[in-house]
Structure 1
Amino acid sequence: MLNFDKDRYVKIQSGAVAIAEVLPAMMRELLQGGLERVFFMGTGGVQFLTLPAVELARSATIMPVSAAFPAQVVLEPPAGLNERSLVVLPSLSGTTKESVQLLSFLKARGVKTLSLTGHKDTPLGRDADYNFTNFAEDDTSSESFYLQTLLIVLSLLAERGEFADFKAVAAELKRLPELLVTVKENYETAAAALASEIKDENYHIFTGAGSVWPEAHYYGMCILEEMQWIRTRPVHAADFFHGTLELVEPGVSVFVFKGEDACRPLGDRVENFARRYTDKVRVLDAATASLPGVSDRTRSLISPVILAAMLERLSAHLEILRDHPLTTRRYYKRVEY
């Protein structure tokens, strides 16, 4: 596969699922200490990677679990952000300015913090109450953060008696890193063909629902816009028919992301409509991935992980065909925070 190191990839994703070994005891301690609510607060694209876990909690527990923007929280903190709260702070670098500022803000309020970092010897790696460091880089971080935040929520549910299958799911997820390599291998030819097809296109609509909507938003904004300077319009599939449908016409590119959860029909609806009006409907479907030994229950939880693994292959080919490395930015280092 193009620009892919299997051993590195498996090591990183195995490190991500290893968080399952320490989470039950940590969650038990927090709940016994009076934990009442959980917030996920990531800066930029990493926040998208926490949202499937937040969505899972929304439908599985009455305990408040929500997401918030760090830059906004320090100006207008949400109600209940106090010593009975846990804030999860994901940051690959561990040095993200807005998140470091937020950590200081939270500590002053007595809020408990759990950081997820790629580097331990950093402000977020050192100074949070709890830390899980798993080295990763841009091409491997999506799956890593998806898996870690999923396991955080599942362990919370399990300790509250709202999810009985934590050990079984965690055991299946241990097999996932190797299986995701096969997913990538099976998608390689299609990824190369799709990259060749879209390399000169400058606008795409991205849509999805349920657990895969954050990946649609993430790939459009954080990969194609930030890393390739291609204009995109991410829109939730539930909102597609309340505005964006009027932009669909021959030649308009529509990417439909489909998962294996209860919201799949929303993606089907967009696909069925778009195929009537444009010749450029691109469907990425988590259900096409072969994952032997992974139950339907677990598959329903990991659709964004599967799509992230596939899309990394698209990105690997796209940056070569467009002669635009994914690390090239115009303004990133010039932004004043």
Structure 2
Amino acid sequence: MYNFNKENFLKVMNGAVGVKPEVDKIVEAVMKKGYKTLFLVGSGGSMAIMLPFEYLLKAHARIDVRTEIAAELMVRDSKFLNKDALVILSSLSGTTKETVAACKYCKEREAVTIGLVGELGTPLADLADHVLVNYSENDFAGDSIYIQLFELIFGLMHANGDFPEYEEFMEEFKAMPEALYGMKEAVEPAMMEFAKKYKNETYHMLVGSGSVWGETYSYGMCVLEEMQWIRTRPIHAAEFFHGTLELVEKDTSVVLMKGEDETRPLMDRVERFAGQYTDKLSVFDTKAYPLKGISEKFRVYLSPLMICTIFEVLSTHLEKERNHSLDLRRYYRVIEY
């Protein structure tokens, strides 16, 4: 695959799978203390990666959950953020200013905190009550954090009596590194074609739903906008018909990010409409690609991870075709703001 280090990828993914014993210890400690409300907190892409788990918890568990943008959480006094709250925060660098400040804010309110980071000795790692760490660069960060969050969130669901198949699920996760690599290989021709065809496109509508909505939002903002300086409009499939449809014309690029959860009919509806009114409809459906070693019954939960892993392939090809480095920034972490 283009600009891809398989050995490094598998090392990072196996590292993520390998945090399971630490996850077990954290879940045991958290359940022993008890909690009433679960907060999923982050900034930018690290917040967006929480949205799938909020959806999955609401669909499959009896846990009171809310996803929060770190900076907003600190200026809005939540009556649920107290000694009975459990807070999960994610920052690959461990230095994201708002997320570190939010961790401190939560601890001041006596909430129990769990931090997911890419390196020990960072501010978030030092602050959080419990820490999960797996070294990863940005190119593999999404896959790594997803795997750890599946281990942790579904571990909490299992401990709450909501997911009895947890151990079976986790046993299959041992196959995930190779499975994700195989999926990337399978999707590369389609992503290469898209990058070549749309390298000069100045605007994309990205449509997602259910557990994939967080990835849709994240890919638009954190990749196409931040890393490629392309204007995008992420839109939830359920909301598409309440305004955005009026902007669809024959030359409007509409990209559908289809997963395998209960909300597929919402995506099918957008696909039928867009197919009639634009010549630039692109559909990326996780059902079209293998995830070797993972049972069909578990794929319904894994849509966001699968979307994340295949769109990482697109990112590298956009970088190549547009001659625009994914590391290039004008403002982000370049100037004070």
- Give the alignment's TM-score, normalised by structure 2: 0.97
Letter paired with 1:74: M
Task: Confirm or deny that 1:115 pairs with 2:105.
Answer: no
* Aligned residue number for residue 159 of structure 1: 159
* Aligned residue number for residue 224 of structure 2: 224
Task: Confirm or deny that 1:205 pairs with 2:198.
Answer: no
Task: Confirm or deny that 1:45 pairs with 2:45.
Answer: yes
Letter paired with 1:69: I
Distance 1:274 1:49 in 2: 27
User: What secondary structure does 1:16 align onto?
Assistant: helix
* Aligned residue number for residue 299 of structure 2: 299
* Aligned residue number for residue 144 of structure 1: 144
Letter paired with 1:127: L
Letter paired with 2:100: V
| C-alpha displacement of 1:25 | 3.5
Which runs of 5 or more structure 1 residues have no equivalent in the other structure? none
Distance 1:151 1:32 in 2: 18
| C-alpha displacement of 1:19 | 2.9
Which segment is superposed worse, 26-35 or 251-260? 26-35
* Aligned residue number for residue 33 of structure 1: 33
* Aligned residue number for residue 58 of structure 2: 58
Which segment is superposed worse, 253-262 or 74-83? 74-83
CA displacement, residues 263-305 of structure 1 (integer Å, 9 cap, x when unaligned): 1111111011100000111111111111233112211111111
Question: Which consecutive aligned stretches of 4+ in structure 1 deviate over 3 angstroms post-superposition?
Answer: 334-337
| C-alpha displacement of 1:32 | 2.2
CA displacement, residues 111-145 of structure 1 (integer Å, 9 cap, x when unaligned): 11100001111011122100011111111111112
User: What secondary structure does 1:199 align onto?
Assistant: coil
Distance 1:94 1:47 in 2: 14
User: What secondary structure does 1:310 align onto?
Assistant: helix
Distance 2:171 2:68 in 1: 31
CA contact (8 A) 1:52 1:150 kept: no
Distance 2:173 2:88 in 1: 21
| C-alpha displacement of 1:28 | 2.7
User: What secondary structure does 2:75 align onto?
Assistant: coil
CA contact (8 A) 1:24 1:159 kept: no
* Aligned residue number for residue 173 of structure 2: 173
Letter paired with 1:58: K
Distance 1:335 1:207 in 2: 32
Following superposition of structure 1 onto structure 2, how do residues 250-261 of structure 1 map, counting pairs within 5 Å?
A: 250-261=250-261
Distance 1:34 1:173 in 2: 27
Distance 1:325 1:21 in 2: 37
Which segment is superposed worse, 203-212 or 295-304? 295-304
Letter paired with 1:210: G
* Aligned residue number for residue 274 of structure 2: 274
Distance 1:146 1:50 in 2: 9
Distance 2:319 2:334 in 1: 23
* Aligned residue number for residue 3 of structure 2: 3
User: What secondary structure does 2:82 align onto?
Assistant: coil
Letter paired with 1:264: R
Distance 1:18 1:302 in 2: 18
* Aligned residue number for residue 131 of structure 1: 131
| C-alpha displacement of 1:17 | 2.3
| C-alpha displacement of 1:182 | 1.1
- Give the alignment's TM-score, normalised by structure 1: 0.97
Letter paired with 1:244: T
Distance 1:123 1:59 in 2: 33
| C-alpha displacement of 1:22 | 2.7
| C-alpha displacement of 1:188 | 1.6
CA contact (8 A) 1:259 1:304 kept: yes
Which runs of 5 or more structure 2 residues have no equivalent in the other structure? none
Letter paired with 1:55: Y
CA RMSD, 1 decimal: 1.3
Distance 1:122 1:235 in 2: 35
Distance 1:120 1:199 in 2: 38
Distance 2:108 2:313 in 1: 43
Which segment is superposed worse, 67-76 or 276-285? 67-76
User: What secondary structure does 1:193 align onto?
Assistant: helix
| C-alpha displacement of 1:158 | 0.5
| C-alpha displacement of 1:335 | 4.9
Which segment is superposed worse, 7-16 or 216-225? 7-16
CA contact (8 A) 2:23 2:132 kept: no
| C-alpha displacement of 1:319 | 0.7
CA displacement, residues 216-264 of structure 1 (integer Å, 9 cap, x when unaligned): 1111111000000000000000000001111111010000011111111
Distance 1:36 1:19 in 2: 25
Distance 1:288 1:176 in 2: 17
Letter paired with 1:159: A
Letter paired with 1:222: C
Which segment is superposed worse, 163-172 or 284-293? 284-293
CA contact (8 A) 2:175 2:292 kept: no
User: What secondary structure does 2:19 align onto?
Assistant: helix
| C-alpha displacement of 1:26 | 2.1
